[in-house]
Amino acid sequence: MHDLPNRSLAVQRSALQSGALIPLKTELISGADERFQLRRLISATPKHLTKAGPKPNPFRPWDPRLEVACQPEHVVLLNKYPVQA
C-alpha cells in the first residue's frame, strides 16, 4: 500500500468512467458555524435513498470497481457518493 495516493486516483478515474462512482453536487450554506461546513445537496437524490424499507449494506459485498487496496486486516474503498464542493 506504499503507492496508495496514486492507486486511489487511478481507481477514481476508472470508477467515474464505469459509473461506479457517483459524485454528489452540493452548495455551501452561508452563515454556518466556521468550525465546519454545512452543505445542501443539489444533485438528484441517489436511487438507493428514495426506496422505502430496509437499506442494503453498501459494504457487503462492496463494488470491486471502488476497491483501492485489500489487505488481510483492512480494505480501502472509495466512497460511492463523494460530496463535491
pLDDT at 50: 65
Which comes out higher in pLDDT, residue 3 or 35? 3
Residue 76 clears pLDDT 70, i.e. is over it: yes
pLDDT in tens, 33-67: 677 788 888 887 776 666 677 777 777 888 999 99
Closest CA to 44 of 24, 28, 16, 27: 24
pLDDT at 49: 64
Could you report how far apart the first and last alpha carbons of the chain are, in Å? Answer: 28
Give residues with Cβ within 8 angstroms of 79, minimum separation 6. 66
pTM metric for this prediction? 0.68
Residue 85 clears pLDDT 70, i.e. is over it: no
pLDDT at 66: 94
